[in-house]
Chain A
Amino acid sequence: MTDTKDKMKLQTSDMREPKTRNGVTAVILFGLVVGMTGLAFASDPLYRIFCQVTGYGGTTKVAEAVPDSQIIDQVVTVRFDANVNKSLAWRFKPVQNTIKVRLGEPAIAFYEATNVSDKAIVGTATFNVAPFKAGEYFSKIECFCFTEQVLKPGQTVQMPVTFFVDPAILKDRNSADVKTITLSYTFFASDDQSEALKLKTLQVISKGQGSTLSSREVIPKG
């Protein structure tokens, strides 16, 4: 009696698991495939995190607040570069070409953008620093690049970026010799133009300074 009962038990549990060694092997191998596919999809966030953590490719850092470390009496020249993707009808340039800052000292710089087209456009910027090895030590406290920018037709805005160069750069054998850092931005027409479409009904053409009319937080890129 117990014999047949045991046999039946075996059969129902066998339904779930592969019966043969071949089946077990196949399941393990298929798991490997699923794992590698998962890794491929995970590459997108992993790639971003890798750059953020290591400063690879000149990826800059984001700082919460003004640093409380000492200001060191060593001067670094920061140069400002501006580029526009050709499908974005904006003029974009730095207000100042260079700034000299001491290590650890927060500084503010401005870029100016003008929408030279006849419709509102949302722009988003990518950015890095050169030399790449300075990326780990270049921290931005506030940046227009943290949010998308909407410009009405003809509108000009000045956009600030507050940053400092971390004094820890002196302790890094590879980067201690950096005397000039170039901060470079490239503006693109954002994929998401919904903010601009909201403004479409407004016929205002304004040339004004100050901050933009609307901005939205996006995931900080650096």
Chain B
Amino acid sequence: MSDTAHDHHDHRPTGWKRWVYSTNHKDIGTMYLALAMVAAIVGAAASVVIRMELHQPGIQFITDFQFYNVLVTAHGFIMVFFVVMPALIGGFGNWFIPLMVGTPDMAFPRMNNLSFWLVAAGLVLLVIAGLIDGGPGTGWTVYPPLANADYHPGMAVDFGILALHLAGASSILGAINFITTIINMRAPGMTFHRMPLFIWAMLLTAILLLLAIPVLAGALTMLLTDRNFGTAFFSPEGGGDPILWQHLFWFFGHPEVYIMIIPAFGVISEIVSTFSKKPIFGYLGMAYAMAAIGVVGFVVWAHHMYTVGFNVETRAYFTLATMVIAVPTGVKIFSWLATMWGGSIKFDTPMLYAMGFIFLFVVGGVTGVTLANAGSDMAFHDTYFVVAHFHYVLSIAAIFAMYAGFFYWIGKMSGKQYPEGLARLQFWITFVGVNVLFFPQHFAGMAGMPRRIPDYPDAYAGWNMISSYGAYITAIGGLLFFVVLWKTLTSKETVAANQWGEGASTLEWTVASPAPFHTHEDTPKVGSQPAE
């Protein structure tokens, strides 16, 4: 359906300008996904090197412990800021928000481009930080006094701070873009209570970003001035307090983990609904559960700080508030299960990953409830029990959601069919790998193994060896993913506009595959979408 008004849209950029100057949400989404994949290789490589060092007691090959700490730091920063966030928010968010709400592009396409290149620049700065002046060996939490100038002279931490400033600016601009698009540009008929749950997830994530990232930015600036301009926000010598950093960092840091997982919840909802051929059970409960998780997530930050010397009343409050989050989360888990119950389920790879997510997120979530207790956290703080917990909910659950989204949407993005058999093999290898990798870490932590150490007493040897083998299996799964990606992109087999059939009820399945450069140029009719 083209008329003279649309003719100017046939003129589209080519060559390098198509990408560097892009104002197209699909191209920008693709670039985010590509960046996430590149960063994932670096971040995963760092973790494999760490696991190789921890494979046996004694020092294997990393004699420079500052370098070990830099690997740990780089692994954390890269995975959080340059893999999970760009993939789920920048990648899937940019690709599918306009498609799902029925609008041609984001509210601010040029600012969208800026957001992407800010992240790319941030990644470059972070890599540079790792290579100069010994690198930042602080952990992703960057606590002073270790992060201060006394113990990290040189520019490594400063480059890291600037890298995070760029990534944070990118997220803030992106969040403004997402919120404006979702609030203002939905197709007529798509009321808030008719939007896909993926859109709810992205809206809530963007609001969390707007409220949390500025606090990180402020704290990072204070650390930068402490290190370079003579202020003393965090040093007692000048009247400051290192605990203030922890409060500020975790006030950002806890919402940050919900920023990483809520988009994953959105992806899983779409996939479970599609592959059960049923609308999600309890739409309103799902949407407002995510909102509740987001809100409560802002008042629990000190559960990362139970050992700093709070009085017992403070610890009691944060224990209670943290455990409260399990309630809306439970609503979501049961709603996904209720969606599958009585559905006509197809166990294609996206659904395998989605079901894996549901099960493994519960495993990670229950260890979170254990850690929420200030009492037991006295024993668990800074042990591998914590490492096991957050890797289950992030490195397993969030990554499974990324894989699930990839397999679900790659047909729409590329027009090509992925090889189902190979993809299922990739799922099972990954599933086995991540569990062998992270489950034993619970036992190491309960036995008292501290985190962020390059060597450990012989007593922890058994669990560490098993865990390291799990890392190698997971790495094979990761390599196999790239094989699947290659085979998909070079495949001759194309897919239909709606490859998943009647279960796929959101608007992206009404456009061709691959989605044309410009979509929804004529506003779609949103009528009787079953929502509630």
Contact A190 B248 (CB under 8 A): no
Please tell me if the beta carbons of A190 and B247 are within 8 angstroms of each other in the complex. no
Task: List chain A residues, Cβ under 8 A from B233.
Answer: 44
Q: Mark B166-206, 1 if CB is under 8 A from A, else 0.
A: 00000010011001100111000000000000000000000
Residue A95, interface by CB 8 Å: no
Contact call B211/A190, Cβ cutoff below 8 A: no
Is B241's CB within 8 Å of the partner chain A? yes
Residue of B nearest to A30 (CB): B176
Q: How far is the CA of A186 from the CA of B239 in the complex (A)?
A: 12
The reply to whether the CB of B214 lies closer than 8 angstroms to some CB of chain A is: yes
DSSP majority for the A interface? helix
Contacts of A132 in B (CB 8 A): 311
A160-193 CB contacts (< 8 Å) to partner B = 186, 188-192
Is A25 an interface position by the 8 A CB rule? yes
Which residues does chain A contribute within 8 Å of B248, judged by CB atoms? 40, 43
Q: Out of A33, A188, A218, A219, which one reaches B237, CB within 8 Å?
A: A188
Chain A residues within 8 Å of B185, by CB: 22
Residues A33 and B218 in contact, CB atoms below 8 Å apart: no
Whether, in the assembled complex, B309 has its beta carbon less than 8 Å from a beta carbon of chain A, the answer is yes
Let me know if A36 is at the binding interface, CB within 8 A: yes
Docked Cα-Cα span, A189 to B214, in Å, equals 33
Closest to A192 in B: B238
Majority SS of interface residues in chain B?
A: helix
| Contact call A37/B237, Cβ cutoff below 8 A | no
Cross-chain contact of A40 among B219, B230, B239 (Cβ < 8 A): B219
Q: Which one, A133, A189, A221, contacts B239 given CB within 8 A?
A: A221
When A25-B184, A43-B248 are in contact, do A190 and B215 touch as well, CB less than 8 Å?
no
A-B pairs with CB below 8 Å: how many?
86
Judge whether B108 is part of the interface by a CB distance below 8 angstroms. Answer: yes
Q: Report A3-25 CB contacts with B as 1/0, cut-off 8 Å.
A: 00000000000000000011001
Cα–Cα, bound, A29→B232 (Å): 31
CB pair A37–B214 under 8 Å, yes or no, is yes
Bound Cα distance A56, B184 (Å): 45
Chain B CB within 8 A of A57 CB: yes
Within 8 Å CB of B213, what residues of A? 33
User: Who on chain A is nearest to B179 by CB?
Assistant: A29
Give residues of chain A (88-104) contacting chain B, Cβ–Cβ below 8 Å. none
Most buried by B among A29, A30, A126, A219: A29
- Docked complex Cα distance between A36 and B179 (Å): 17
**Given known contacts A25-B184, A29-B210, is B236 in contact with A188 (CB within 8 Å)?**
yes
Interface bits A23-60 vs B (CB < 8 Å: 1, else 0): 00110011011101101110110010000000011000
Which residue on chain A has the smallest CB distance to residue B232?
A: A191
Near B by CB (< 8 A), chain A positions 177-222 give 186, 188-192, 218-219, 221
Residues of A close to B235: CB separation below 8 A? 191
- A133–B312 Cα distance when bound, in Å, is 11
Please tell me if A124 contacts chain B, counting CB pairs below 8 Å: yes
Chain B residue contacts of A85, Cβ below 8 A: 236-237
A166 → chain B closest CB, angstroms: 19
A110 CB to closest chain B CB, in angstroms?
A: 23
A133 to B212, CA, bound (A): 31
Chain A positions near chain B (C-beta within 8 angstroms): 21-22, 25-26, 29-30, 32-34, 36-37, 39-41, 43-44, 47, 56-57, 85, 124, 126, 132-133, 186, 188-192, 218-219, 221
Closest 9 CB pairs of A and B: A40-B218, A36-B214, A191-B238, A37-B214, A188-B237, A25-B180, A40-B215, A22-B107, A29-B176
